[in-house]
Structure 1
Amino acid sequence: MKTSACFALLAAFCTTAAHAADWSDTSLSWRYGTKFSEPYNGEDINKHVINFSNVSGYKYGKNFFSVDFLLSDSHDPSAVGASSGAHEAYALYRHTLDLGKVTGANLAFGPVRGVGVTGGFDVNSKTDAGYNSKKRMLVLGPTLMFDVPGFLDVSLLALRESNAPFNGFTSISTPRYTYKTHAMLTAAWGIPFTLGVPLSFEGFANYIGTKGRNEFGGPTAVEINVDMQVMYDLSPAIGAAKNTLKVGLEYQYWKNKFGNPESVAPGATAKTPMVRAEYHF
């Protein structure tokens, strides 16, 4: 699909989404781990990650917007020879249009309560020694919404991704390069449960196909990114409204990060335990 056509479809989604929200949840969170990794680095990296997120629903669907601010230690330097760590901002937006609500038809079947179409974008900017990523990506595809406590959405999305990195070692800028359009099977979930205390199992999982040659002519690999957490709702203990303050443990498994094959890019696979706290308002 041409980029212009993708923009037109996403613009239509955004127009549809511009209705007053029936419900909304905004959160600020912090997470920290010491086992992050970056392709072609191979070092264990400490990172603090500050996140701002908002999810909202309206008559015909829902919106999700998230921005991560990632602060690395000196093992992921901000420039060649720098003692300070790299900084990254990664923004993501998704809009899911519920086709059953739009058409008035009952599209439920088996464990699926609804069918939708999801579109959106990813944008990032990072200051680091070697790559200085400037990712731009459009996504579009069908979504199944499963009938579970909380939510479980599974989507098959087409990805149109480009980048225009700057190599700090060689001081060479690469013109914006668009990869081959490729597919992502993705799931996102938030499922409450109790074990004597209020808990929730939350996260996402992405299986991303290869995207052809990279901007330097090298191969790309299947990418797997699973990020999940068990969160404890601390709110009742401090007299706050339900789901106001959560703390918990998080784990991320990221293989062939950004499509870089581990076989040629040491550090492209990370296994990262984290602690996490989030405040909802």
Structure 2
Amino acid sequence: MQFNVYSLVVLIATLIYSHSSDCATWSENEFHFQYGKLNQPFAEASGTTLSTSIFTFQHASAWEYGSNFFFADYSSTSLGDELYAEWYPAFSSKALLNANYDGVLSDVSFVMGINMAPESDVLKYLPGIQLHLDVEGFQFLNVLITAYLDDSEGINAGGAPKEDDSWMVDIAWRYPLNLSSQQFYIEGHAEYIDERTSEIPDAIVESWVLAQIQARWDAGQTFFNVKDRLFLGIEYQYWNNKLGTKEEDSVVQALAVWRF
């Protein structure tokens, strides 16, 4: 499965990028670099933290009938490297069904998400809906509600334990701030995934809350007079019951973002 998932990550990125070039009404691609000391919940000693470098490719775009969001993280520590990716293609009910919405709700999309972790042979499907909210001041504010369906191969295939199915709620946003002559953005997401059992007898994968909040400064505008290209800042990560354990992350990471 590892080869297949790696191939799927590359295929998704290629399809999204080529599609966004030809068909998108708008498209945004970013490379992120983050650095901080993150908790390692499966280390031998509880509370083990390691310096972690994370390189991310992130893509968001819209087209006539919906949108795409995709990211792939490559994480590196002294214990090794890891790849993780998520893809959320969404189809607009306003565009497909001519639905009309009033007030704060601007659209409802049908979503089919995929989460992939090749090293641990983890594969999840996340069918659901996304509520697009029109709130003053926000560039976007979306609420995603999905099932969390496991299609991993499990311990016998050399991967992480298979899990029962569950559900997820995720809130994502971007809020611009103009302070004096400087442009800032507060953006990120917060998710809740409910608890589930695994193929290990009597084992519970704990429910978790993960919040990743970025404070970005538009450094490119200040240094090079090029807006929305180079950002510097921090990302605060809070993760209780990290990866279903009883471990916790509460850490600030250095952040640099290149948008193209």
Q: Considering the TM-score relative to the shorter chain, is it more than 0.5?
A: yes
| Contact 1:160-1:178 within 8 A present in 2 as well | no
* Aligned residue among 97, 106, 110 for 1:113: 106
Which structure 2 residue ranges, 5 or more long, are not aligned? 1-14
SS state of the match for residue 204, structure 2?
Answer: coil
* Change over 3 Å in CA distance of 1:202–1:89 after alignment to 2: same
| Contact 2:121-2:159 within 8 A present in 1 as well | no
Using CA pairs under 8 Å that are at least 6 residues apart, name the structure with larger relative contact order, 1 or 2. Answer: 1
Report the counterpart of residue 11 of structure 2 in structure 1: none
SS state of the match for residue 197, structure 2?
Answer: coil
Aligned AA (1:137): K
Q: Alpha-carbon deviation of 1:241? A: 3.1
Report the counterpart of residue 270 of structure 1 in structure 2: 249
Q: Alpha-carbon deviation of 1:236? A: 1.5
| Contact 1:232-1:248 within 8 A present in 2 as well | yes
Higher-strand-fraction structure: 2
**TM-score, normalised via structure 1 length:** 0.78
CA distance in 2, matches of 1:243, 1:101: 29
Q: Alpha-carbon deviation of 1:122? A: 0.8
Report the counterpart of residue 11 of structure 1 in structure 2: none
Which stretch of structure 1 is more off in the superposition, 54-63 or 172-181?
Answer: 172-181
| Contact 1:198-1:232 within 8 A present in 2 as well | yes
4+ residue stretches of structure 1 with deviation over 6 A?
A: none
Report the counterpart of residue 155 of structure 1 in structure 2: 144
Aligned AA (1:230): A
Aligned AA (2:258): Y
SS state of the match for residue 235, structure 1?
Answer: helix
Amino-acid identity (%): 24
* Aligned residue among 236, 239, 245 for 1:251: 236
Report the counterpart of residue 42 of structure 2 in structure 1: 39
Q: Alpha-carbon deviation of 1:181? A: 1.6
1:221 aligns with 2:210: no
* Change over 3 Å in CA distance of 1:33–1:214 after alignment to 2: farther
Q: Alpha-carbon deviation of 1:165? A: 6.0
Q: Alpha-carbon deviation of 1:240? A: 4.5
Which stretch of structure 1 is more off in the superposition, 99-108 or 199-208?
Answer: 99-108
Report the counterpart of residue 12 of structure 2 in structure 1: none
* Aligned residue among 93, 96, 114 for 2:87: 93
SS state of the match for residue 23, structure 2?
Answer: coil
Aligned length: 238
Which stretch of structure 1 is more off in the superposition, 177-186 or 145-154?
Answer: 177-186
- Partner deviation per Cα, 1:163-200 (whole Å, 9 max, x = no partner): 4466xxxxx85578542221101111112112222011
- Partner deviation per Cα, 1:68-89 (whole Å, 9 max, x = no partner): 000013xxx2xxxxxxxx1000
| Contact 1:49-1:68 within 8 A present in 2 as well | yes
1:123 aligns with 2:116: yes
Report the counterpart of residue 8 of structure 1 in structure 2: none
Higher-helix-fraction structure: 2
Equivalent positions of 1:133-144 (< 5 A) are 133-144=120-131
**TM-score, normalised via structure 2 length:** 0.83
Aligned AA (2:259): H
SS state of the match for residue 96, structure 2?
Answer: helix
